[in-house]
Amino acid sequence: MTVSIDPAVAASLRGFEVPEKLGFGSVMAPAMFRARCQDGVWSGGELVPYAPLTLDPAAKVLHYAQSCFEGMKAYRTADGIALFRPDRNARRMAYSAERLCMPAVPESLFMEGVTTVTAYCANLVPANSGESLYLRPFLIGTQPDLSVSASTSYEFYVIASPSEAYHAGNMRVWVEREDARAAVGGTGDAKVGGNYAASLQSIARLKKRGFDQSLWLNPGNRHTVDELSGMNFFAVMDGELHTPALNGAILEGVTRDSLLTLARQLGYTVHERPIDIDDLLQLVSSGTCSEAFACGTAAIVSPISVMGDGDAVYELSAAPGPVAERLRAALLDIQEGRAEDPFGWMVPVEITDLD
Amino acid sequence: MTVSIDPAVAASLRGFEVPEKLGFGSVMAPAMFRARCQDGVWSGGELVPYAPLTLDPAAKVLHYAQSCFEGMKAYRTADGIALFRPDRNARRMAYSAERLCMPAVPESLFMEGVTTVTAYCANLVPANSGESLYLRPFLIGTQPDLSVSASTSYEFYVIASPSEAYHAGNMRVWVEREDARAAVGGTGDAKVGGNYAASLQSIARLKKRGFDQSLWLNPGNRHTVDELSGMNFFAVMDGELHTPALNGAILEGVTRDSLLTLARQLGYTVHERPIDIDDLLQLVSSGTCSEAFACGTAAIVSPISVMGDGDAVYELSAAPGPVAERLRAALLDIQEGRAEDPFGWMVPVEITDLD
């Protein structure tokens, strides 16, 4: 590792007190990792105190949304601190970057970033189950130029936030029949800002109706379920697990992949297939679909209690549901070091001693 | 007007020399307008020296692309300096903001911003025909918080750039059959960053094939023409003008609207209708469609010489074409004050004397 450490980092960290109430993504750790890329050439990484960025007002990211990001977590385990499947995030971020004509952050630099931040912020990793140090790597185009073209300069950051899980569960989701978060041939399978900006109007609308999250339909057929905003979708039917098959408009969640693996190991039959929304709602009505849940790095596993569609409301009969609970527990047991890690998912981080 | 003027602005402007080679959007004027909005309450506007913004690394705009913008121009006329239809940009920016759950910039504040920047930067408005002071109002969500929700704080800026026209004409456009810039139910009719980010991959691909711009098809039917990136599309068939009807996925261009008005006044028959791409290419082949052009604030009117589709290349027989040339001249004559302004499009700006 050749990360340069700003001497001010240690003082920032020593002077930082983690507030009692964490929430999600609002308490920021006082150190961050930074690297720059100019004309395809990456600088070395630096760990610096968390501080405002200075960006030219004409920077591409501010006008043309040339930005992508990742969400991942560092957990406190019996043995210390560990990251969960960081290689998957590194690869997905490279994919997202490529979709927006940005240079991929080299996997070694990405790993250096998330590892260094975690190593220095180890004291900020919460100890309560379900809490963690949420890591947010992100890449932005910084060239000051108003023409619609890829930036020639980029900045990569890793910031961190000691956080609770994003959703506590018992979510009320809303079938979004009008808006779309991404297009066929668009950026739905990349983790880029524009998908989230497009989703805000739907979220604002459904909150007024007493719901928590949009259930997005495929923008091509407007009839099969894609995902929730930042979370993948699962339904339990007759004790078997069903989740939308990847189709180019769905973000391939690391938690989704992990749950598929875990579920198979636990003996569940798992189906990755297109799920028609009208079929699904009918199966919820009849009780065949007794459970549904969302999953994601931030949300872990969040049971769905109600699905709203227009004026109709469909209640999941087994909510929050034993399958969701079992999978959530199985995943957290690995992440928090209470269970064996048969898949080699946990990557321990050597804690940096600040003294 | 109650704009606060930073005393350093005058010195910045006096010390600034406009380079000989302008390009588009790369030379930035040394003054900018700024206003802030916190929890729905707007501050007064300020004119300050052009300088880097400071943004929290967790600012919503950097992660969730909560940003929208406008493009407009100040022209040098015989009588002084004037803006072209700024009320249309103000209203469109309010629409774009609403789509992303951002507070609309009040029209009076928007006008204050573009007028103040123009008044102080009057010396930077180029004198050559086709050149202008390009104005870029933009609005960004600045709240430092990683949850996917609308920002509680915003910053509105107007920056300016003495510029040439964006495209010189004789463009080679590429029929984009794979990617989409926006979805049905997405943000295609709003001027938001995500649409542009999604378009970059297509542009990079077609440049390698010797083309200049993507011709975007409707994301719903994948068969009718929507627009180019940041420009609307017109075709001339048997001497009549055809442009895609607005459909929710097309940005309603101010230049588009102005050309429709001007064309009717000049006696052209004008059709706003869905234009099937295969029909269009056949009509280009047969010579019935002799001309096509793109239009936009930055591009003005840019003739299209070639349309590429897969391995096929279709040449526009009359390119650059008399209709495009006539409309471009008629529009620029109004914008640059050589012709009457029967529609009341030009809004004069009183120049601020720096001494």
Nearest to B133 by CA among B167, B194, B82: B82
Could you give the ipTM of this predicted complex? Answer: 0.97
Count CA atoms closer than 13 A to A190's CA, side-chain side: 30
Fold of B171-335: D-amino Acid Aminotransferase; Chain A, domain 2 (3.20.10)
* Sequence-separated (6 or more) residues with CB below 8 Å from residue A78: A337, A338
User: Does residue B105 contact residue B96 with C-beta atoms inside 8 Å?
Assistant: no
A344 CB neighbour count, 10 Å cutoff: 7
Q: What is the distance between the alpha carbons of residues B110 and B121, in angstroms, rounded to a whole number? A: 17
Q: What is the distance between the alpha carbons of residues A112 and B185, in angstroms, rounded to a whole number? A: 40
User: Does residue A302 contact residue A171 with C-beta atoms inside 8 Å?
Assistant: yes
The 10s digit of each residue's pLDDT in B167-226 is: 767 899 999 999 999 999 999 999 999 999 999 999 999 999 999 999 999 999 999 999
DSSP letter assigned to residue A11: H
User: Does residue B225 contact residue B280 with C-beta atoms inside 8 Å?
Assistant: yes
CA torsion sign for B297, B303, B308, B309 is positive
From B65, B146, B178, residue closest to A24, measured CB to CB: B146
Which single residue is written with the structure tokens 């290689």? A87
Q: Which positions 140-159 of A are in contact with B (Cβ < 8 Å)? A: 140, 144-150, 157, 159
In CATH terms, A4-164 corresponds, of 3.40.50.720, 3.30.56.10, 3.30.470.10, 1.10.8.60, to 3.30.470.10
Nearest to B239 by CA among B290, B304, B314, B282: B290
The amino acid occupying position B236 is: V
Give the pairing type, strands B213-217 and B225-228.
Answer: antiparallel
Q: What is the distance between the alpha carbons of residues B300 and A202, in angstroms, rounded to a whole number? A: 35
- What stretches of A146-237 adopt beta strand conformation (E)? 153-163, 171-176, 213-217, 225-228, 232-237
Q: Do A55 and B55 touch (CB under 8 A)?
A: yes
From B157, B184, B196, residue closest to A57, measured CB to CB: B157
Q: B54, B64, B152, B159: which to substitute to probe chain A, counting the most A Cβ within 10 Å?
A: B64
Same fold flag, A4-164 and A171-335: no
User: Does residue A124 contact residue A29 with C-beta atoms inside 8 Å?
Assistant: yes
| H helix intervals, chain A | 8-14, 60-64, 86-99, 107-120, 193-208, 254-265, 277-286, 322-335
**Chain A closest-CA separation from residue B203 CA (Å):** 8
**pLDDT at B1 (0 to 100):** 54
**pLDDT at B168 (0 to 100):** 66
User: Does residue B271 contact residue B98 with C-beta atoms inside 8 Å?
Assistant: no
For residue A200 the two structure tokens come to: 């805000």
Q: Is A263 helix (H, G, I), strand (E, B) or coil?
A: helix
| Residue ranges per structural domain of chain B | 4-164, 171-335
Q: Is A229 helix (H, G, I), strand (E, B) or coil?
A: coil
How is B28-89 classified by DSSP, letter by letter? PPSEEEEEEEETTEEPPPEEEE---EEE-TTBHHHHH--EEE--EEEEEETTEEEEESHHHH
Say if A78 is an interface residue toward chain B (CB within 8 Å).
Answer: no
**pLDDT at A1 (0 to 100):** 54
For residue A322 the two structure tokens come to: 């034993």
For residue B202 the two structure tokens come to: 């297509």
Which H or E run includes B132?
strand B132-141
Does the bond joining A144 to the residue before it have cis omega, within 30 degrees of 0?
Answer: no
**pLDDT at B165 (0 to 100):** 81
| Mean pLDDT of chain B, nearest integer | 96
Q: Report the chain A residue with the minimal C-alpha distance to residue B231.
A: A148
Residues of chain A with pLDDT under 50: none
SS3 annotation, B13-30: HHCCCCCCCCCCCCCCCC
Q: Report the chain B residue with the minimal C-alpha distance to residue A213.
A: B148
Q: Do B147 and A166 touch (CB under 8 A)?
A: yes
CA torsion sign for B312, B315, B320, B321 is negative
Residues of A within 8 A of B206 (CB-CB) are none
- What stretches of B188-310 adopt beta strand conformation (E)? 213-217, 225-228, 232-237, 240-244, 270-273, 289-296, 300-309
Which single residue is written with the structure tokens 């790597």? A137
**pLDDT at A354 (0 to 100):** 84
Per run of 10 residues, the mean pLDDT along chain B (length 355 residues) is: 90 93 94 98 98 98 98 94 98 98 98 98 93 97 96 98 83 96 94 97 95 96 95 97 97 98 98 98 97 94 96 95 96 96 97 87
Integer-rounded Cα radius of gyration of chain B: 21
User: Does residue B166 contact residue B296 with C-beta atoms inside 8 Å?
Assistant: yes
Exposed/middle/buried for residue A203 (C-beta within 10 Å: 0-12, 13-18, 19+):
buried
**Chain B closest-CA separation from residue A215 CA (Å):** 14
